Amino acid sequence: MSGFLENMSVGLQVAFTVTNLLYCFIGVFIGTLIGVLPGIGPVGTISILMPLTFGISPTSAIIMLAGIYYGAQYGGSTTSILVNIPGEATSVVTCLDGYQMARQGRAGPALGISAFGSFIAGTIGAIILMFVATPLSSFGLKFGPPEYFSLIILALSILSYLAHGSMVKAIIMAILGICLSQIGIDVVTGRLRFTFGIIDLQDGLGLVPVVVGLFGVGEVLANLEESTNVEILKAKIKGLLPNLRDWKDSIGAIFRGSILGFFLGVLPGGGAIISTFVSYALEKKISKHPEKFGTGVIEGVAGPETANNAASSGAFIPLFTLGLPSNAITALLLGALMIHGVAPGPFFIRKHPDIFWGTIMSMYIGNVMLLILNLPLIGLWVKILKVPYKVLFPLLLLLCIIGSYSINNNKFDVFIMLIFGVIGYLFRKYEYELAPFVISFVLGPILENSLRQSLLISQGDISIFFRKPISMSCLIMALFLLLSPIVLAKSRRLRKKLG
Amino acid sequence: MVWFVLGIGICIGSIKLKLGNFHTPGPGFLPFLSGGSLALFGLILTFLTTRTGLGEKEDEKDQRELVHWDWKRLINPLFTLFILVVYILLLEPLGFLLTTFICLLFLFKLSDPQKWLMPFVLSFTATALSYLLFSVWLQCQFPKGLIRFW
């Protein structure tokens, strides 16, 4: 216990420096801003801003980037409630009851409960993260190359299984990410792979230009094709503090959403998105008046809004304990840490207690800042919502260009960004999910190293993946997930035939 | 079919790189496996687009629809892409300040096609602010181009 308190005090010392407080504020402010603005998400923002963090310490960088991540969950609810357009995918469910509440003149309590709920969830999430991460990282020490290989395969399988659209398309995206991560020098033999004589490709495709292109430029191009007119409720927002009745109705939903969201957030894939749907379904199921859901009940806002915030804390578990990202954002954070020369994994908490505990403590502080930003400053966010997209997109593109160029001061990176911008646009158009691509692109080199090391250890015996219990369990689960849709489809067809 | 062809291409490239064996995997080992998987799943996808059911969740069948290309709506994305290509080409000869200003001016024109004043003011302000923020404060190195004094 004394070690735990000692670590907490280290974290507090790190988080409470003027520099880190400033970066935390910048992170949560930008997070709220992009959460409010439809058309740019946290993945695009983090990838655009990542090169700008190279000059600062890794702790400050992660504090800021993490702030953008959980800050966006706060901001996303504002557009859902006031405009009926979710700022983030995780706020889709909030539209159902949040917008109805706003139409009934209860936008204030809806915004208030989502901010308070997010604060409670963020704090609970940070507390669980603090207690769970250390024992889990000890468990992570049992992971050797075969276990890592199988775990990555399992993570990619879960990601594909939980895909919103076609599972086959998601698998293709994951494989494509691995293929593109192979470009450049092979670290073992020193041979160039798929560089086609282009010197700039010798170091491989840069994470930042690829992700900025896919999420930044691709999203801008897709939005320019759509012509959506944003209509904001004109009624004055009043009574942001929920009354006693509101609290009584939503406190249970807040605590259930926090726990549910945290543990679903650990899952690879859309943990945060799924948690909002599950939380909404759960609240509806246990409600005394399920028929009122969708007409503006406060539990329908409180549950999902807390779940998405808690899930953003849960997503840090696999990143900090195993070095494996569970979604595109944590994949970017992993990339940022690796660029800073910090490798997350089982030894991460022991080797870099300042980064781990500093980041967790900054989450508490960040959640307090977000509460202040989201309640008294709601008028500011409403005003920002009114800025037309055609004025915003040139600025977003400028940030994309600067972000890509400033990594190596190389025009080639901007060119790569542009190519991936077009690819990202086409992927959106043809409904291919980008998250499996980004995660496998980041994990590709780790996957290859694990595979090669495993085969070297076993002297070419591939049964090594089935002899180790953890590895075998992961592969069996992966196989089950990949085959389950086929089995389900077959059994459905059989049932239909039998009448 | 694109994925199938791409996968086969990666497999051929991997063979040229040397696959090695299970004992000592070569540089083409994982690319070959991933290229082969890409080709396989490309084939499955092609099969699925012609026949529903296999590997799809039940509710996905209804979601599958042909991608709609409305050329009128593509004008803005295509114009933006063109501006971005011009930006890359002009960045080094003209420099960051001039290129950013010119390209932003045309991009802001999309929001106000009739007038020049507002796009001019917006692009000037955005260029100046980005210069102060990234070049002066964050010390990013941008090409100077024609305007050499900054």
B142 CB neighbours in chain A (<8 A) are: 405, 409
* CA–CA gap between residue A168 and residue A423 (Å, rounded): 18
Q: Of A394, A221, A393, A212, which Cα lies nearest the Cα of B78?
A: A221
B53 vs A: CB within 8 A: yes
pLDDT > 60? residue B57: no
| Best residue of B19, B60, B71, B133 to probe chain A, by most A CBs closer than 10 Å | B60
For B71, the closest chain A residue by CA position comes to A225
Contact between A470 and A150 under an 8 Å Cβ cutoff? The reply is yes
ipTM value, please give it: 0.87
A193 CB neighbours in chain B (<8 A) are: 13, 17, 27-28, 31
Model pTM score: 0.80
Q: Which residues pair with A184 in a beta bridge?
A: A193
Tell me whether residues B58 and A390 touch, CB distance under 8 A: no
pLDDT > 70? residue A264: yes
Contacts of A199 (CB under 8 A, 6+ apart): none
For A195, the closest chain B residue by CA position comes to B13
Phi and psi torsions of B92, nearest 5°: -80, -45
* CA–CA gap between residue A326 and residue B64 (Å, rounded): 27
| Contact residues, B window 13-42, toward A, CB-based 8 Å cutoff | 13, 17-18, 21-31, 34-35, 37-38, 41-42
> Minimum mean pLDDT among A18-22, A59-63, A140-144, B34-38: which range?
A140-144
* CA–CA gap between residue A403 and residue A412 (Å, rounded): 13
Query: How many degrees, rounded to 5, is the angle at CA A174 between CA A257 and CA A349?
Result: 55
* CA–CA gap between residue A129 and residue A149 (Å, rounded): 25
A409, exposed or middle or buried, with CB in 10 Å at 0-12, 13-18, 19+?
Answer: exposed
pLDDT > 70? residue A232: no
Of residues B42, B81, B130, nearest to A402 (C-beta):
B130
Read off the pLDDT of residues A131-166 as tens digits, 9 standing for 90 and up. Answer: 888 787 777 777 888 988 998 888 888 878 877 678
Read off the pLDDT of residues A76-135 as tens digits, 9 standing for 90 and up. Answer: 788 778 877 776 677 778 888 888 888 888 888 888 898 888 888 888 888 888 888 878
| Best residue of A52, A164, A182 to probe chain B, by most B CBs closer than 10 Å | A182
Tell me whether residues B13 and A179 touch, CB distance under 8 A: no
Contacts of A92 (CB under 8 A, 6+ apart): A80, A86, A273, A276
The separation between the first and the last C-alpha atoms of chain A, rounded to the nearest angstrom, is 62
pLDDT > 70? residue A499: no
Read off the pLDDT of residues B83-113 as tens digits, 9 standing for 90 and up. Answer: 999 999 999 889 999 999 999 999 988 877 7
Q: Of A490, A496, A163, which Cα lies nearest the Cα of B53?
A: A490
* CA–CA gap between residue B42 and residue B6 (Å, rounded): 9
* CA–CA gap between residue A199 and residue A415 (Å, rounded): 14
Read off the pLDDT of residues A299-323 as tens digits, 9 standing for 90 and up. Answer: 999 999 899 888 888 888 888 888 8
Contact between A233 and A386 under an 8 Å Cβ cutoff? The reply is no
- At residue A351, the pLDDT reads 86
For B10, the closest chain A residue by CA position comes to A179
B91 CB neighbours in chain A (<8 A) are: 405, 411, 414
Q: How confident is the model at residue B146 (pLDDT cuts 50, 70, 90)?
A: confident
